[in-house]
A = this chain, B = another copy of it.
């Protein structure tokens, strides 16, 4: 397949600074979800990078993360230039990070097109992903156009944001392109049901594509204070100017790109697609996505399920025996063990908060 000349200008910006507690005890502050090997080979971050093969080479990939994870991520991605793996001096949500990335891209390539990708998602339909990214890139080449990947909703999920689209604009390589009417926040269940039934709502997975110049112009217009700070950092040398970065980055507003820009800017196209996508929100999502045996158990080789059904067992250091149990999540690590009802997977974070309240820092 001949290389699309457009792709020469494509830069990936992977957001890998997330921290969370929903995958405790496997995830910890120094080892969050994006570093976990939950499905198949490699961590979610490694899979995110791997999905870009033949689309974006390592020298055009940027990974933004936090101080705690920086060394580990550098170790895992020796082919990505180390100055492109950036430790943000403070967590400022996605808008400042993406703005910072735009300046890095522009420094190298005035025609640079950025694809923003969260590092902690699952995409099972690789061909669709690659196709969608190519078409999005083609659309984003037009100055002023922002593109979002709109994910076909398969259920009335209340944990995701939605995108409402207007009339279809065109079809590209089997993908329907729409103009975006509105970004909406996480709905309640009734609203989510209505969204899915209506057919003109798509999940917002946080995957965006635009020219770096388009983004920069939008930031200058809608977030002028942020853009001024970003320009000062860029003039000082960008992400390599660590002292400046450390001084100015924390001064920016803590705000997501959705709030900061996407809900405000006029010209957004949605490339709509079914990616077999999940943001892997809890252990019960892991259970859903993993292969299971005929009794519905997802278990390691070193385990035995007797009269047990629909359990997720995660353990690699010891033999696990389940007897007469159903719908459980069992996660064993060196220093902590979780036994959780599938229906309570959303409460794992609460348990971790309680550990924090008790001062059990070594477990966080």
Residues of A within 8 A of B (CB): 24-25, 304, 306-307, 315, 318-325, 328, 330, 332-341, 343-344, 347-348, 350-351, 354-355, 358, 360, 363
Contact = CB atoms under 8 A, between A and B. Distances in A.
Contact of A319 (B324, B337, B344, B348): B337
A351 B25 contact: no
Given A306-B351, A307-B344, A355-B304, A322 B339 contact: yes
Nearest to A303: B337
A343 B339 CA distance: 17
A351 B318 contact: no
B323 A336 contact: no
A23 to B, nearest CB: 13
A320 B348 contact: no
A223 B340 CA distance: 56
B338 A337 contact: no
B350 A319 contact: no
User: Within the oligomer, what is the number of copies of this chain?
Assistant: 2
Contacts of A306: 344, 347, 350-351, 354
A351 B325 CA distance: 13
A351 B322 CA distance: 9
A323 B339 contact: yes
Given A307-B347, A347-B306, A355-B304, A320 B340 contact: no
Nearest to A331: B321
Contacts of A324: 340-341, 343-344, 347
User: Which of A24, A318, A321 counts the most B-chain CB atoms under 10 A from its CB?
Assistant: A321
Given A307-B344, A344-B307, A338 B321 contact: yes
Nearest to A323: B340
A320 B344 contact: no
A296 to B, nearest CB: 16
Contacts of A321: 24-25, 336-340, 348, 351, 355
A287 B65 CA distance: 46
Contacts of A315: 337
Contacts of A347: 306-307, 323-324
A324 B346 CA distance: 10
